Amino acid sequence: MDPASPPESAPFPAAPGRLATTFDIFAWYDEVRASGRPVAWCSAFAPAEALLAVGVMPVYPENHAAMLGALSEQRDPAAPYARAAIAAAEG
């Protein structure tokens, strides 16, 4: 596949009459990543047109989570809450 062309399938492919699920969305993310085309993980206000013009595929995951993370007071990875969350996630 030419890195300048988009993935073969449409974004979030779903059968007619069916809404795309989270699994459809993540499958499309995997397809974009495997295409070899540069990917920009963006928030809602990224300049999609500028990214597409230079051959970068904009992807918009979890806009709400990104906004909450950006607005949180504890953005320092060395903060005690972050260390506890990382330890809990690692099991």
Listed by start position, the domains of the chain span 22-90
Q: If pLDDT is split at 50, 70 and 90, which confidence band does 54 have?
A: very high
Q: Angle CA(59)–CA(47)–CA(19) in degrees, nearest 5?
A: 35
* The predicted structure's pLDDT at residue 87: 73
Backbone φ and ψ for 21, nearest 5 degrees, come out as -100, 175
Q: Angle CA(13)–CA(42)–CA(89) in degrees, nearest 5?
A: 90
Q: Does the reported pTM lie above 0.75?
A: no
Structure tokens of 17?
Answer: 């009459």
| CA 43/CA 64 separation, integer angstroms | 9
* The predicted structure's pLDDT at residue 50: 92
| CA 87/CA 91 separation, integer angstroms | 6
Is pLDDT above 80 for 58? yes
